[in-house]
Amino acid sequence: MNNARPRIVIDAMGGDHAPAEIVAGALLAAGADFADLTLAGDESQIKPLLRGSAASRIAILHAPKNVPMDMHASQALRIAGETSLGVAVEAVKDGRADAVVSAGNSAAFLGIALVKLRPIAGIARPAIATVWPALNGPMVLLDSGANVDCRPEWLEQFGIMGSSYAKAVLKIANPRVAILSIGEERSKGNAQVLEAAKLLERAPINFIGNVEGKDLFHNAADVVVVDGFVGNVVLKMGEGLIGDLSKVIRETILGGNFVTKIGAALVAPALRGLRRKFDYEEYGGAPLLGLRGNCIVTHGRASRNAIRGAIRVAADEVRNDVVGKISDLVAPDLTEA
């Protein structure tokens, strides 16, 4: 483990609620004092928001422009040197920061990071690794949206990267790696899944075979491999389901009779604990694994608490040298594409 104090740079202008919520989240993280923080963005907009005792712990890296959420990645690349996102990634490339966090345009983040940081040797494509709050402990789902079309060998690499992350950050000694399919039997799945499963079987990981969609909430595996198209659909379906279920429970209780409301008061602490368990803000951000630098993606609608969580995730990734551990595990004969 790296005991040096992590240096985290945050894209202050990226996200639906930037810069106010981003700066507020950075202030919360600065108050917790687990990393050295820098906000990249328009100093004239950031500085007035830095208030309170923690403000003096945050530096500003000025960038005059931002990347709009709807800007194409190729356009973002052309103006990267003037944008908060580009300047933040450049700080990691130059060694002035150990990790970058952004709630901004994820396609642009991926594009800029790919060009500036480059993939780890032996890794063809980076993948977004989402920590999924399963009933019996956290699970890593990847890819969650970076690659909508995947080759079987990329899925093998996702399994290796997910295993490294689960071992290093989640402290799971021998992570169980599975691939998402339409049945538990090894013969089930499309051509991509069947070929990827053969490669995962030979990879330096604890591959346990197939899991189904019904298994994702009860920790049937510690790492679940999937292509980015399906992974993103699964992720958003899960988030929507959890949000709607919470709403139904709340409306049912509040709309009940006097006895129901008394019962609700008694179970309220347990319900709050359940909500926290399945709240994405508790995890904050998702690492973009496979690059020669630590990159953390978080929701465009991220609140200050989610930003604080994403900064903590970034600090954990730095301390646990996830990039180094993935590099050590990648088989030398993996083919780059």
Q: What is the pLDDT of residues 96-115, one digit of tens each?
A: 999 999 999 999 999 999 99
Question: For residues 95-106, b (16+ Cβ closer than 10 Å) or e, as one string?
Answer: eebbbbbbbbbb
What residue spans of the chain are helical by DSSP H?
A: 20-32, 43-46, 73-78, 84-93, 106-117, 152-168, 191-202, 228-254, 258-277, 304-319, 322-329
Question: Cα–Cα distance between 224 and 197 in angstroms, integer?
Answer: 12
Question: Cα–Cα distance between 156 and 231 in angstroms, integer?
Answer: 15
pTM of the model: 0.85
Helices 152-168 & 191-202 angle (0-180, nearest 10): 50
Torsion of Cα atoms, 160 then 165 then 166 then 170, to 10°: 170
Q: Report the CATH fold assignment for 1-123+290-337.
A: Isopropylmalate Dehydrogenase (3.40.718)
Question: Cα–Cα distance between 142 and 129 in angstroms, integer?
Answer: 5
Give 330 or 256, the one with higher predicted confidence. 330
pLDDT of the residue at 335: 43
Give 248 or 290, the one with higher predicted confidence. 290
pLDDT of the residue at 337: 41
The dihedral built from the CA positions of residue 270, 275, 277 and 281, taken in this order, carries a sign that is: negative
Q: Please, which pLDDT band fits residue 182 given cuts at 50, 70 and 90?
A: very high
Q: Give residue 221's identity as a one-letter amino acid code.
A: A
As given in the structure block, the two tokens for residue 183 are 């049945």
Residue whose C-alpha is closest to residue 297's, from 91, 142, 177: 142
Question: For residues 37-49, b (16+ Cβ closer than 10 Å) or e, as one string?
Answer: bbbbbbeeebeeb
DSSP helix, strand, coil percent of the chain (3-state; round to 5) = 50, 20, 35
Give 270 or 187, the one with higher predicted confidence. 187
Residue 333 above 60 pLDDT? no
Q: Please, which pLDDT band fits residue 185 given cuts at 50, 70 and 90?
A: confident
Q: Please, which pLDDT band fits residue 7 given cuts at 50, 70 and 90?
A: very high
CB atoms within 10 A of CB 113: 27
- DSSP lists the bridge partners of residue 62 as 41
Residue 8 above 70 pLDDT? yes
Preceding omega of 19 cis (within 30 degrees of 0): yes
Residue 275 above 70 pLDDT? no
Indicate where the chain has its CATH 3.40.718.10 domain(s).
1-123+290-337, 132-282
Q: With beta carbons less than 8 A apart as the criterion, state whether 165 and 314 touch.
A: no
Q: Please, which pLDDT band fits residue 285 given cuts at 50, 70 and 90?
A: confident
C-alpha 130 chain-centroid distance = 5
pLDDT tens per residue across span 112-141: 999 999 999 989 999 999 988 777 888 999
Phi, psi of 319 (to 5 degrees): -60, -35
Cα angle 325, 329, 335 (rounded to 5 degrees) comes to 125
Domain covering 132-282: architecture: 3-Layer(aba) Sandwich (3.40)
